Structure 1
Amino acid sequence: MVKHHIYWWNLENLFDIENSPRRSSFLNDKLKSELKDWNINILNQKLDNLVTIISKFNSDNGPDILGVCEVENEFVIEQLIAKMNASLNRAYGFVISESEDKRGIDTALIYDTALYGPDQTTFSLRIIKRNSTRDLFQVHLNTANGNKLILVLNHWPSRSGGELNSEPFRIMVAENLAYWIERIHEEQENPSIVLMGDFNDNPFNRSINEYLMAKNNRALVKSNRVKLRYLYNLMYRFLDAQLGTFVFNSTLNILDQFIVSKTILSEKTEYPFKISTVDIIAYPELVKGTYKKPVRYGRPNASNFNPDGYSDHLPIALVLNEKE
């Protein structure tokens, strides 16, 4: 039995340095106040902090696969991976979705190149809601056993402006993703699909439950009597656990989620991947207070700056078993 240790983490504004030559002049102007004093030392400190946590994943062996969001460009991912490789003595590679997000933040997938084939395939779907949203980013990884794992990275529109006012934008993305899932099934019989991301909605919200059709009903998802492509949301178990991946005004939210296709949920032996465990990572240094609020790094020109911090989201972990 082969185990695949998969993680997701919103890294909260992992930007390139202030006035970076790698950033367009338009975006430099737009982010001017936000990036004031964000220099190479500040960036390196945040990267070091993140890597101290990432290196603890998988019993101090590091992740096999790590999906991230709120990363600006290839440069910051390359810096992160260099530190991960040095700390963990592994050979990580990555693929990134360069979207047209108005703040220049994207999603990326980091993976151990010794475990997954070099012929990975990527697709991006750009959704327009007046301005472009962050892309839905699909990556196919081939395992050493010759099985294909389809990973779809998500960073849905934020709740800025209010949860209800912004909900239609997340519903729009959910509808597009549900259609995309249908297309994957048309291209491949019985695909093994893992959705991961910051969905900016909870598992019970309409966008995920009704429009993406990611449910907490195993029998429904596994049933052969329904034609709809129901998905299974692995995060419902945490709704009563007094732990969230994001805390807002003392309210716990499970915004970061793993959602899987029927084949991964099924017990049928012909399907290669099975769920082993799923967790929210809440190491003591990552959280504070009664509500276990994530310890933020923040910005150097803001009152919330904490050089010992990490992110405003907690990471999540999924272990899949693969038959040999």
Structure 2
Amino acid sequence: MKKLLILISLWLCVTTAGAQQNKRDLYSVAFYNLENLFDTIHDAGKNDLEFLPSGSYVWTAEKYEAKLKNLAKVLSEVSRDRVPEGPAVIGVAEAENNRVLTDLVSQPAISNYKFVHYEGPDKRGIDCALLYDPEQFTVTNSKLVLSTPFEGDTVHLTRGFLIVDGQMAGERVCFIINHWPSRGAKSPVRVHAAKQVRVLTDSLMRTDKKLKLIVMGDMNDDPMDESMATLGARKYAKQVKKGEFYNPWWETLEDKGVGTLLYRGKWNLFDQIVVSRPLLKAKKGLKYDHNEVFIREYLFQQDGKYKGSPLRTHGGRVWLNGYSDHLPTIIYLKK
């Protein structure tokens, strides 16, 4: 009998310890512009000729494999110092097709991830996608909503809006992944993109007033720009009204001077993740906790004219064997 009681006590200790280890109170969500993740094969109808072995970048299989390995290294480290499981989801931009995403998540460092992707209308072929860890996030529905041209401008066309709905930590969370028109287009083109996203978010929140909705992407605008105001993304949590979003990156850039890409010596923060009001006001379940730009020394050029800039894949036409011209961004959700 005494031995039985000892065994039961030991079992209870092990079970309790296991339960404590499995208990999660912090989750992470990330975004990363992959900067021209092209394979070496021409896609019919797409202007990807620069990224072929015979193209101006001399894009060989060896360079492509190095790019995959480099990106996988970054993605495997994002947020893991705070969340050992890594991000539940990672929004990405500038992925050429299903094939490059398959190759990316086949890298051993991130082989636990699956992805959602639809072929979009971009003339170069670069799309948005959502990588997700099925142990942390279950996809229930997804679709790509195509963008409408601004005043007939089909050159600076947004790559479409990827909507992914699912379950995280036992509750519904919805994501919209974006890549708005580049700075080669004037501000009204990005404002037009923001208006389209606002229509989508209004519709989603009309049917579920408590929806925990996260909009993320490379907006090609800073947090204080007109397009983000049009989206309804506010600097301070106390300013956020129903149907609007909290944009923590405003303070990150304006008050802390931290950005995600460097242009002519000035930091911008285009890579934003904004959260709906229910993620601020939730009395139970997931709630916004904090944000950060993922910064590691290896992600930056260490010398030369562009010292301190993100270490990109190419400098001009010279292969640098880098990562991206953008830095990843992360938000943390507490349960």
User: Which TM-score tier does this pair reach, normalised by the shorter chain?
Assistant: 0.7 to 0.9
Distance 2:117 2:280 in 1: 28
CA offset digits 1:44-90 (Å, max 9, x no partner): 0011111122222212643321110000001100111010xx225x5
Q: Find the counterpart in structure 2 of residue 55 from structure 1.
A: 76
Q: Is the contact between residue 142 and residue 162 of structure 2 (CA under 8 Å) also seen in structure 1?
A: no
1:3: Cα distance to partner? Answer: 2.3
Please say which of residues 54-63 and 277-286 is displaced more in the overlay.
Answer: 54-63
CA offset digits 1:113-154 (Å, max 9, x no partner): 122225343342323232242111111121252x11111101
Q: Does 1:93 align with 2:114?
A: yes
Instruction: Give the gaps of 5 or more residues in structure 2.
Output: 1-23
Distance 2:265 2:49 in 1: 34
Q: Find the counterpart in structure 2 of residue 252 from structure 1.
A: 267
1:14: Cα distance to partner? Answer: 0.4
**Normalization by structure 2: what TM-score?**
0.83
Q: Is the contact between residue 88 and residue 137 of structure 2 (CA under 8 Å) also seen in structure 1?
A: no
Q: Find the counterpart in structure 1 of residue 314 from structure 2.
A: 298
* Aligned counterpart for 2:244 among listed residues 230, 233, 237: 230
Q: Find the counterpart in structure 2 of residue 116 from structure 1.
A: 137
Q: Classify 1:229/1:112 alpha carbon distance in 2 versus 1 (closer, same or farther; 3 Å).
A: same
User: Which AA in structure 2 matches 1:213?
Assistant: G
User: Which AA in structure 2 matches 1:142?
Assistant: Q
* Aligned counterpart for 1:205 among listed residues 225, 239, 258: 225
User: Which AA in structure 2 matches 1:153?
Assistant: I
Q: Does 1:279 align with 2:292?
A: yes
Residues matched between the structures, number: 300
**Normalization by structure 1: what TM-score?**
0.85
Which has the higher Rg, Structure 1 or Structure 2?
2
User: Which AA in structure 1 matches 2:245?
Assistant: L
Distance 2:50 2:311 in 1: 26
Q: Is the contact between residue 48 and residue 124 of structure 2 (CA under 8 Å) also seen in structure 1?
A: no
1:219: Cα distance to partner? Answer: 2.1
Q: Secondary structure at the match of 1:296?
A: coil
Distance 1:55 1:26 in 2: 30
Q: Find the counterpart in structure 1 of residue 66 from structure 2.
A: 45
Q: Secondary structure at the match of 1:55?
A: helix
Q: Find the counterpart in structure 1 of residue 166 from structure 2.
A: 141
Distance 2:203 2:260 in 1: 30
Q: Find the counterpart in structure 1 of residue 7 from structure 2.
A: none
Q: Secondary structure at the match of 1:117?
A: strand
Q: Is the contact between residue 50 and residue 57 of structure 2 (CA under 8 Å) also seen in structure 1?
A: no
Q: Find the counterpart in structure 2 of residue 225 from structure 1.
A: none
1:29: Cα distance to partner? Answer: 5.1
Q: Secondary structure at the match of 1:190?
A: coil
User: Which AA in structure 2 matches 1:136?
Assistant: F
Distance 1:193 1:118 in 2: 14
User: Which AA in structure 1 matches 2:68?
Assistant: L
When the two chains are superposed, the root-mean-square deviation of aligned CA atoms in Å is: 2.3
CA offset digits 1:144-169 (Å, max 9, x no partner): 52x11111101000001xxxx51110
User: Among the aligned pairs, what percent are the same residue?
Assistant: 29
Q: Classify 1:278/1:75 alpha carbon distance in 2 versus 1 (closer, same or farther; 3 Å).
A: same
Distance 1:203 1:183 in 2: 23
1:238: Cα distance to partner? Answer: 1.2
1:288: Cα distance to partner? Answer: 3.5
Instruction: Give the gaps of 5 or more residues in structure 1.
Output: 223-227
Q: Secondary structure at the match of 1:42?
A: helix
Q: Secondary structure at the match of 2:27?
A: strand
Distance 1:29 1:286 in 2: 27
